[in-house]
């Protein structure tokens, strides 16, 4: 339901980056911004850049609360936002878009990460948090920090602010590990932020290939080009029921809306008039959170293409739907995702893939020869057999599956000649401790011992309830690309 928050984030970032405002205006803008130091801790474990490109993560927070943790007015949430109760949403990040801005002024690549991707999540210090949907990295870290801080006597605005910082750190660390690239800057907005941006910019043009009517989101639109007000804009980017592609079509709506907004900003000369910008800056200062190291002037020199029609939006693929921890999730192949991201970014860190120990590994994507044995220390019935089948489906030779004494964390050890396969398997399973050699493991074998907190994604695609796979239909990405520079027409 927060699909539009990323729109506000990019719009806000574009406003700050491309305005060319005076020095006095710059100080007026930056003097009231909400900033975060969450990247300071996360940067310590970040992969290295090969050039001066910039990676900006847009975070759309699924929260019906203000900056201090207070509920937004009930009438506003239900009547204007058509988004249900203020109790819904909590602190999930249902929209994550990584903007890769090349140093040479070339095409900006925007990668949307499906919100239900089932991944290893991390805390800000790089330690594993657990396997969850990627959108839940923020909420789990927020809750853990909130409970601890409250027990330590922290209250009020400080409690909310520090808990949110833990959530931001977890989201940044999780995305950084999942994609295998560093995050240089980020912008975070919540539900109110999208509405406020749309209110300032209204009306905004959108285009639909087919008419839609959805009571859940409030979307009720004819086919073709049309103008929408703030309430309609939120419905446009929130709808997923009644669409053939579900969440994928909703992601394309987000991307198309971003294109429409930036096209309007550029075509109407908004960036050339300080008077026109003041309303937008007021929203930015009230609803947006950016990292404290973001220098608006420096960033402006690298981000002019954000509104220049040279942004291409793509959605990262999944490997099919499944049930994990009692929830519907989208399975992913982290190694495949990292390869796609490196390829999209022009080979950034292409010579090496970050391994589970955070160091670069030259392990090839093709499964290295090895026989895999799986021991079940998770106390979950059938876990070893299921995982052995999944690894065999990836191309490894199936060995033995058996039980062993319970242990907390999953480990990978290997015999002589099986180091490469062990590194690959550890990366695929999200194991954060580097594989180790063991004389007790036969040559050519990898031994995986499942820990109590481990729930592994399956190897291959699983059919969705409709009988079709959610994997990318062609090429590297899920669905078609959405190119900025006009008013894209989408489902």
Question: Domains in the chain and their CATH numbers?
Answer: 5-348+471-490 (3.40.630.190), 363-450 (3.30.70.2390)
User: Of 114-118, 184-188, 272-276, which gets the smallest average pLDDT?
Assistant: 272-276
Q: Say what the pLDDT of residue 86 is.
A: 52
pLDDT at 363 over 50: no
pLDDT at 305 over 60: no
**Is residue 409 within 8 Å of 383, Cβ to Cβ?**
no
Which tokens in the block code for residue 173?
Answer: 């660390």
Within 10 Å of residue 453's Cβ, how many Cβ atoms? Answer: 14
pLDDT at 348 over 50: no
| Percent of the chain's residues with pLDDT above 90 | 34
User: Of 111-125, 153-167, 266-280, 452-466, which gets the smallest average pLDDT?
Assistant: 452-466
**Higher per-residue confidence, 41 vs 2:** 41
Round to whole Å and give the CA distance between 337 and 339.
5
Q: What average pLDDT does range 334-347 have in this prediction?
A: 85
> How much is the mean pLDDT over the chain?
79
User: Of 152-161, 253-262, 349-358, which gets the smallest average pLDDT?
Assistant: 349-358
Q: Say what the pLDDT of residue 26 is.
A: 57
**Higher per-residue confidence, 355 vs 476:** 476
Q: What average pLDDT does range 42-65 have in this prediction?
A: 84
- Who contacts 248 (Cβ-Cβ below 8 Å, separation ≥6)? 114, 315, 470, 478, 479
CA angle 42, 4, 37 (to 5 degrees): 20
Render pLDDT for 231-276 as a digit per residue (tens, 0 to 9).
888 889 888 888 888 888 888 888 888 888 877 777 766 555 555 5
Q: Say what the pLDDT of residue 144 is.
A: 96
Q: What average pLDDT does range 142-167 have in this prediction?
A: 95
pLDDT at 351 over 50: no
Which range of 65-79, 122-136, 198-212, 389-403 scores highest in mean pLDDT? It is 122-136
Which range of 2-11, 218-227, 362-371 scores highest in mean pLDDT? It is 218-227
pLDDT band at residue 85 under the 50/70/90 scheme: low
Round to whole Å and give the CA distance between 128 and 133.
14
pTM: 0.70
Q: Say what the pLDDT of residue 465 is.
A: 29
Q: Tokens 């240089």 belong to which residue?
A: 184
Round to whole Å and give the CA distance between 38 and 57.
13
Q: Say what the pLDDT of residue 335 is.
A: 87
**Higher per-residue confidence, 5 vs 170:** 170
**Is residue 118 within 8 Å of 329, Cβ to Cβ?**
yes
User: Of 148-152, 352-356, 411-415, which gets the smallest average pLDDT?
Assistant: 352-356
Q: Say what the pLDDT of residue 212 is.
A: 93
Q: Say what the pLDDT of residue 116 is.
A: 93
CA angle 349, 354, 358 (to 5 degrees): 130
Q: Say what the pLDDT of residue 275 is.
A: 56
Q: Say what the pLDDT of residue 66 is.
A: 73
For 408-433, b/e burial (b = at least 16 CB within 10 A) is eebbbbbbeebbbbbbbbbbbbbbbe
**Gyration radius of the chain over CA positions:** 23
Q: Say what the pLDDT of residue 181 is.
A: 92
Which tokens in the block code for residue 353?
Answer: 């893939």
pLDDT at 426 over 50: yes
Q: Say what the pLDDT of residue 122 is.
A: 95
């Amino acid at each position: 339901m927060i699909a539009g928050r990323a729109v506000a984030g990019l719009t806000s970032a574009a406003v700050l980056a491309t305005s060319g405002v005076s020095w006095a205006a710059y100080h007026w803008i930056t003097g009231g911004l909400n900033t975060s130091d969450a990247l300071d801790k996360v940067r310590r474990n970040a992969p290295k850049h090969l050039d001066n490109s910039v990676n900006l993560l847009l975070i759309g927070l699924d929260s019906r609360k203000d900056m201090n943790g207070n509920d937004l007015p009930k009438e506003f949430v239900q009547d204007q936002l058509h988004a249900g109760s203020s109790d819904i949403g909590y602190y999930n990040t249902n929209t994550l878009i990584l903007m890769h801005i090349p140093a040479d002024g070339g095409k900006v690549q925007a990668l949307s990460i499906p919100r239900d991707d089932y991944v290893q999540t991390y805390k800000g210090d790089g330690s594993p948090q657990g396997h969850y949907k990627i959108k839940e990295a923020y909420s789990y870290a927020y809750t853990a920090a909130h409970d601890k801080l409250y027990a330590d006597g922290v209250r009020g605005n400080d409690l909310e602010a520090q808990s949110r910082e833990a959530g931001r750190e977890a989201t940044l660390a999780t995305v950084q590990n999942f994609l295998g690239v560093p995050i240089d800057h980020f912008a975070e907005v919540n539900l109110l932020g999208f509405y406020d941006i749309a209110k300032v910019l209204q009306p905004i043009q959108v285009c639909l290939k087919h008419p839609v009517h959805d009571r859940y989101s409030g979307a009720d639109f004819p086919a073709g080009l049309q103008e929408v007000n703030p309430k309609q804009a939120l419905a446009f980017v929130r709808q997923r029921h009644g669409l053939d592609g579900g969440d994928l079509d909703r992601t394309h709506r987000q991307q198309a809306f971003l294109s429409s907004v930036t096209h309007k900003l550029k075509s109407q000369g908004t960036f050339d008039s300080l008077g026109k910008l003041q309303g937008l800056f007021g929203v930015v200062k009230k609803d947006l959170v950016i990292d404290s190291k973001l220098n608006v002037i420096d960033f402006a020199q690298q981000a002019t293409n954000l509104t220049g029609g040279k942004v291409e939006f793509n959605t990262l693929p999944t490997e099919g739907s499944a049930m994990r921890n009692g929830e519907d999730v989208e399975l992913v192949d982290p190694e495949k995702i990292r390869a796609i991201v490196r390829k999209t970014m022009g080979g950034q860190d292409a010579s090496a893939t970050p391994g589970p120990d955070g160091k670069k590994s030259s392990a090839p994507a093709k499964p290295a020869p090895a026989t895999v044995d799986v021991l079940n220390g998770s106390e979950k019935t059938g876990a070893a057999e299921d995982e052995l089948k999944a690894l065999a489906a990836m191309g490894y030779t199936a060995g033995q599956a058996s039980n062993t004494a319970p242990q907390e964390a999953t480990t990978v050890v290997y015999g002589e000649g099986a180091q490469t396969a062990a590194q690959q398997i550890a990366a695929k399973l999200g194991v954060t401790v580097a594989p180790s050699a063991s004389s007790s493991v036969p040559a050519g074998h990898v031994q995986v011992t499942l820990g109590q907190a481990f729930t592994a994604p399956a190897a291959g695609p699983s059919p969705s309830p409709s009988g079709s796979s959610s994997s990318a239909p062609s090429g590297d990405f899920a669905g078609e690309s959405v190119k900025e520079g006009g008013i894209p027409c989408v489902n």
